[in-house]
């Protein structure tokens, strides 16, 4: 085989490899995993501004969000929220004296910021919806407010499961 033909074959193989890599990266990002950066303090102390996270997107294609899951929500096409699932459709939720009550039972939430936050009158979460809150209850736009309200399952993009950055906090997120 001539050197010119060999060079053209090599270039063709490189282009094919690059194309396959781009297609695989697109499929992985669209359907399996995503990478997000935390902006804001609504999930403090669990997550902090600048944390880089890996989101599992496939888990909710075959299952549903569970209590305590930290999820990524599509608020608008350009804005995503990071929140914790507190209640599901059919559950009642209330807050009294900085204690969250799920179906009349107080939640043990050792992960929240202890800054004071307001009471919230009991509501029932509609079927097919979720009630989400930030861990920094005093500084979180979440389901307590009309601006976000109850969240459709379709608006939940995936579950946060791993922190990549900062390196001193690298590991699984709970």
Q: Residue 112 is part of which domain span?
A: 3-172
pLDDT attached to residue 75: 74
**Cα 151 from Cα 41, distance rounded (Å):** 20
Query: What's the pLDDT band for 1 if we cut at 50, 70, 90?
Result: low
Counting the structural domains of the chain, the total is 1
Is residue 71 within 8 Å of 132, Cβ to Cβ? yes
Burial class of residue 47 in the structure, from the number of CB atoms within 10 Å of its CB (0-12 exposed, 13-18 middle, 19+ buried): buried
- pTM of structure: 0.81
Residues marked active site are found at 42, 83
CATH of the domain at 44: 2.10.109.10
H/E stretch holding 92 reads strand 92-96
State pLDDT tens for residues 85-136. Answer: 999 999 999 999 999 999 999 999 999 998 999 999 999 999 999 999 999 9
The rounded mean pLDDT for the chain is 88
**Cα 34 from Cα 28, distance rounded (Å):** 8
Mean pLDDT of 68-86: 88
* pLDDT higher than threshold 90 for residue 70: yes
């Amino acid at each position: 085989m001539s050197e010119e033909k060999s060079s053209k074959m090599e270039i063709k193989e490189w282009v094919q490899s690059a194309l396959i890599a781009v297609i695989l990266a697109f499929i992985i990002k669209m359907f399996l995993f995503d990478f997000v950066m935390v902006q804001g303090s609504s999930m403090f102390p669990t997550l902090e501004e600048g944390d880089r996270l890996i989101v599992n997107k496939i888990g909710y294609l075959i299952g549903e969000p569970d209590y305590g899951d930290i999820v990524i929500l599509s608020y608008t096409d350009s804005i995503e929220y990071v929140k914790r699932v507190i209640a599901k459709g059919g559950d009642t939720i209330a807050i009294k004296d900085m204690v969250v009550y799920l179906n009349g039972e107080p939640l043990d939430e050792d992960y929240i910021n202890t800054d004071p936050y307001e009471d919230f009158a009991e509501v029932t979460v509609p079927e097919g919806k979720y009630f989400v809150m930030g861990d920094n209850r005093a500084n979180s736009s979440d389901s307590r407010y009309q601006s976000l309200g109850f969240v459709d399952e379709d608006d939940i993009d995936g579950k946060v499961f791993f922190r990549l950055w900062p390196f001193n906090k690298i590991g699984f997120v709970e």
